[in-house]
Amino acid sequence: MIAALAYVPRPTALGRAGVLAASAYLGVFAAVAFAFSHPLVLAADAAAVVIAGLASGTGRALAVSLRFAAVLGVLMIATNAIASQRGDTILVRGPDVPVLGTVDVSAEALAEGGILALRVAIVIAAFAVFTAAIDPDRVLRLLRPIARRSALTATLVVRLVPLAAGDHARLRDAAALRGPGAAPISRAVLARRLVAGSLDRSVDAAATLELRGYGKGAPGRARRLPRSPVDAAFWVAAFTVAVLSVAVLVTRSASYESYPAIEASLEALGLALVIALPALAAVPFAGRGPGR
């Protein structure tokens, strides 16, 4: 069984793109999520990442990341609603808590928590698509002259995390097949077995790397990777999104404030960004069949 977040070669435009072009393409959508708070801009950015994930054949990785982000988002919204005692529109008058005082829940705190949750979901989804679509060996080859140890560590993490997810699924299935008379397997037991297996795998990986000579250091220069013919479309999409986003930020054409009251404005340039984000995400895949 192949874990959803594991890299699998895919005959799609993103799979054939160069590492730099693919990183710029997906990275610019993550940057937009950090730079903007307007709900419409974030919604358009989320749609762009979903389009990129579906068009690149990484729908499973996208679904797993969104499920994880949904759980994390609920926790973030609840935490912000309780911790942030700001906002003019009080929805729930909370109890008096020692030290903290009266804990109220405001509409503004819920909205701000939703913005934070959506922002985190976009970033998680973008990195999930990157992990599933981009060859980690090519990433290592690109970064090796710059940061040898960090590049190797990041590449191992990208490979080992999906393996750990697969181990968890197999252990959970095995526990479910033990029959109704068997004692239930708690999450703590599953986690302990998963950690033990991960430690065993890490020792084996370290021994394999040592035998292959990684302890002697990497070469100072790496062979230059050939350019992919689809790189230009990804660079154009990333550059256009970046320029348009900077223009919107400078002109404040898509402003949003949660406190003390919710205020949002979207001017013509901001609306253009909202429309352009999903459109530009689809541009590199337009007219390209699976094998072209």
The answer to whether the bond into 229 is cis (omega within 30° of 0) is: no
pLDDT at position 197, please?
84
pLDDT at position 147, please?
63
Give yes or no for a contact between 260 and 88, defined as CB atoms under 8 angstroms apart.
Answer: yes
Q: How many CB atoms lie within 10 A of CB 72?
A: 14
The whole domain housing 85 covers 13-164+240-284
Residue 183 located in a structural domain: no
DSSP 10: -
| Residue 70 to residue 209: CA distance in whole angstroms | 37
Q: Global pTM?
A: 0.76
Residue 214 located in a structural domain: no
Residue 208 located in a structural domain: no
Residue with token string 């998680």:
124
Residue 172 located in a structural domain: no
From first to last of the 292 residues of the chain, give the pLDDT tens digit.
456 777 888 889 998 888 899 999 999 999 999 999 999 999 999 999 999 999 999 999 999 999 999 999 999 999 998 888 888 888 888 777 776 667 788 999 999 999 999 999 999 999 999 989 988 778 777 766 666 666 667 667 666 777 787 788 888 888 888 777 777 778 888 888 888 888 888 888 777 767 766 666 555 554 555 666 788 999 999 999 999 999 999 999 999 998 888 999 999 999 999 999 999 999 999 865 444 4
| Residue 15 to residue 56: CA distance in whole angstroms | 7
| Residue 21 to residue 14: CA distance in whole angstroms | 9
Residue 222 located in a structural domain: no
| Residue 47 to residue 279: CA distance in whole angstroms | 10
Residue 101 located in a structural domain: yes
Q: At how many degrees (to 10) do helices 59-83 and 39-55 cross? A: 160
DSSP of 217-252: ---SS-PPPPPPTTHHHHHHHHHHHHHHHHHHHHHT
| Residue 289 to residue 292: CA distance in whole angstroms | 5
Residue 112 located in a structural domain: yes
**Residue 147 tokens, joined:** 């940061």
| Residue 21 to residue 128: CA distance in whole angstroms | 17
| Residue 262 to residue 259: CA distance in whole angstroms | 6
Helices (H), the chain: 13-16, 19-35, 39-55, 59-83, 107-133, 136-143, 148-176, 187-211, 231-251, 268-282
| Residue 9 to residue 24: CA distance in whole angstroms | 20
pLDDT at position 291, please?
41
CA angle 217, 218, 220 (to 5 degrees): 120
Give yes or no for a contact between 38 and 251, defined as CB atoms under 8 angstroms apart.
Answer: no
Residue 251 located in a structural domain: yes
**Domain count across the chain:** 1
